[in-house]
Amino acid sequence: MLDKKALDRAEVAAQCPHCGHQQSAVFGQLKRDPRVTCLACGDAYDTEPDKLEQQIAQALRSAQQRLNRQMKRFK
């Protein structure tokens, strides 16, 4: 089960399509407003929360699996 709060707090990397600058953004904010303003060139662009959600879900799952494996090792 995916923790909704963990998802909303997760940081994602947004990349500016104009200059390529990467900056982190909080997913919960992007869901409300997918528009990000590039800190490097000042351009505004839209992120894709649906795609980002899949990336985060995957990252959270693999982090959970790593944790489970470590827990087993210490038993």
From the CB of 11, what's the least distance to Zn ion, in Å?
Answer: 18
Does the protein bind Zn ion through residue 39 (CB under 5 A)?
A: no
Residue (of 44, 48, 28) closest to 36 by Cα position:
44
Establish if 44 lies at the interface with Zn ion (CB under 5 A): no
SS3 2: coil
Q: Among 17, 18, 36, which residue's Cα sits nearest to residue 26?
A: 36
Q: How far is the CB of 21 from Zn ion (least distance, A)?
A: 5
CB of 53 to Zn ion, least distance (A): 23
SS3 content of the chain, % helix, strand, coil (to 5): 50, 20, 30
Q: Does 41 bind Zn ion (CB under 5 A)?
A: yes
Give contact residues for Zn ion (rule: CB under 5 A). 16, 18-19, 21, 38, 40-41, 43
